[in-house]
């Protein structure tokens, strides 16, 4: 079975869904294929801190109503170290900007509903995806669905299929310029039934390791602590988990973390990855297919949104003006924002984590940097500007 469209999109994550919705609003057709089921992508709980430009984008696209109804707008974050907590006033330091705590799977729910409502096809549960003809003018995507061989013929392919998808691998290895840094720690994450411990996110640094205190709903909280990436969740009883959280977060001010029933545990790895070759022929990569960041900087979904703003605009230019200029420069323009987000994520990770084998002077350097961040308006402003998100290219 063969289908034809203008843009074939691989992956129904935030990047692929945003791209399809933005193209549809400009009269450009697309088809999305996704390896997982709809239930899986909408039900897999993932973190989500949305930058100010991302929130604006979702509002402009008409998919922000539920985000504002159930998400949490935060005007600041707290840095905790040395037994004290220090607030970074994002709103005041950035001229009124803020962040939205709204999980990624909820963003996906909103986008799936919008994309299907506008008539775009999403085929879930596909297998054996292969890209063909990407160096020509009419590439195609071959795959199977329910055991039936299928094909999408298109003008362009958008690889939005994540780090492990086939899109990046379709670019010849000799042509891919890639960079990888693996951090010597992981995050042990929990979801628990408890009231919020704080009105805003807490980034805590201690000699025992890092902690992030976040929220999901008024009754469900998400928290992480730094761990050995080779550790296993079975080594951690609930009692041991709470004891570790308390030891790493509580100081002399009387603040205490609120406990509750833990109903999910998991360990995630920490790495920085960039494939600078974000395009090859008629294939264009966006989101995690091209870059991965450690979650400390809260940049993953937001970098994907930045990619899509550029890619959708370039595709519109092609069909409206028959211009290849924006498409040809896509990688170079996208990488400016990608590398800024990567560097900030690295900065936050190295600032807040103690690594095994470090010398004492490195730890003193870290504490000196933290002291400077909370005592200097210039340093606090720099952190705040990066955290709320720099404007998308062409935005105010």
CB 17 within 8 A of CB 161: no
CB 88 within 8 A of CB 374: yes
Closest by CA position to 391, among listed 309, 329, 331? 309
Closest by CA position to 183, among listed 353, 21, 18? 353
Q: What angle do CA 382, 387, 390 make, to 5 degrees?
A: 80
- Map residue 313 onto helix, strand or coil: helix
Which residues are catalytically annotated?
74, 203, 295, 299, 387
CA distance 7 to 153: 9
CA distance 253 to 387: 26
CA distance 129 to 148: 12
- Map residue 165 onto helix, strand or coil: coil
β-strand partners of 292: 273
CB 283 within 8 A of CB 244: no
């Amino acid at each position: 079975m063969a289908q034809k469209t203008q843009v074939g999109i691989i992956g129904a994550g935030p990047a692929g869904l945003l791209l399809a919705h933005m193209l549809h609003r400009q009269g450009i057709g697309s088809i999305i294929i996704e390896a997982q089921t709809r239930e899986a992508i909408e039900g897999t709980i993932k973190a989500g801190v949305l930058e100010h430009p991302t929130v604006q984008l979702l509002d402009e696209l008409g998919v922000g109503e539920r985000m504002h109804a159930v998400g949490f707008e935060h005007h600041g974050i707290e840095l905790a170290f040395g037994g004290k907590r220090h607030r970074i006033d994002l709103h005041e330091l950035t001229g009124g900007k803020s962040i939205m705590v709204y999980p990624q799977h909820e963003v996906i729910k909103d986008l799936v509903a919008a994309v299907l409502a506008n008539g775009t096809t999403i085929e879930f549960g596909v297998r054996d995806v292969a890209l063909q003809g990407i160096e020509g003018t009419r590439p195609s995507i071959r795959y199977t669905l329910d055991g039936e061989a299928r094909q999408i013929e298109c003008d362009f392919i958008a690889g939005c299929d994540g780090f492990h998808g086939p899109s990046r691998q379709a670019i010849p290895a000799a042509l891919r310029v890639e960079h990888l840094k693996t951090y010597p720690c992981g995050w042990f994450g929990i979801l628990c039934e408890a009231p919020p411990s704080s009105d805003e996110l807490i980034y805590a640094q201690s000699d025992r390791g890092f902690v992030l205190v976040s929220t999901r709903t008024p009754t469900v909280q998400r928290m992480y602590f730094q761990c050995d990436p080779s550790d296993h969740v079975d080594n951690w009883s609930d009692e041991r988990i709470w004891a570790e959280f308390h030891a790493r977060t509580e100081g002399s001010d009387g603040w205490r973390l609120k406990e509750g029933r833990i109903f999910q545990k998991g360990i995630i790895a920490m790495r920085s990855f960039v494939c600078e070759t974000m395009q090859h022929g008629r294939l264009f990569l966006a989101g995690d297919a091209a870059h991965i960041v450690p979650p400390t900087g809260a940049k993953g979904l937001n970098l994907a949104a930045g990619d899509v703003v550029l890619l959708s605009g370039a595709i519109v230019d092609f069909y409206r003006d028959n211009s290849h200029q924006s498409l040809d420069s896509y990688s170079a323009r996208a990488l400016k924002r990608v590398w800024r987000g990567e560097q900030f994520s690295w900065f936050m990770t190295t600032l807040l984590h103690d690594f095994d084998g470090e010398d004492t002077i490195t730890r003193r350097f870290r504490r000196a940097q933290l002291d400077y961040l909370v005592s200097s308006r210039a340093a606090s402003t720099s952190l705040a500007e990066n955290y709320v998100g720099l404007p998308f290219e062409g935005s105010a």
